[in-house]
Structure formats: structure tokens, C-alpha cells
């Protein structure tokens, strides 16, 4: 399963950042891509 994450506002942006870090870690450690896109929208 692949995810697209959209974070809205300050809290959503932080959650999107965590998903981005998780995706980088998964790519580095297991050579898999779990994210199709991560977007943070500041409202």
C-alpha cells in the first residue's frame, strides 16, 4: 500500500513531516517506497 499525505495547518504540517521522515527511513533501510507524495499546506 502506498500513501499520499496532505497536512493542513501547523499540526497537519508536522504530521506530514513525520510521514516524510518515515518514508525516507523505509527507503534507506528496506529499499521500499511507501509514499507517493507528501504535502504540507499552511492555512
Domain count, the chain: 1
* Cβ count within 10 A of residue 22: 15
- What pLDDT, in 10s, does the model give residues 1-43? 899 999 999 999 999 999 999 999 999 999 999 999 999 999 8
Print the domain residue range for 32.
3-41
Distance CA 43, CA 22 (A): 24
Give the 3-state secondary structure of 1-43: CCEEEEEEHHHHHHHHHHHHHHHHHHHHHHCCCCEEEEEEECC
| pLDDT score recorded for residue 1 | 82
The model scores a pTM over 0.85: no
Amino acid at each position: 500500500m502506498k500513501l499520499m499525505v496532505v497536512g493542513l495547518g501547523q499540526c497537519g504540517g508536522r504530521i506530514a513531516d513525520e510521514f516524510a521522515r518515515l518514508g525516507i527511513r523505509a527507503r534507506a533501510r528496506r529499499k521500499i517506497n511507501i509514499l507517493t507524495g507528501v504535502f504540507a499546506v499552511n492555512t
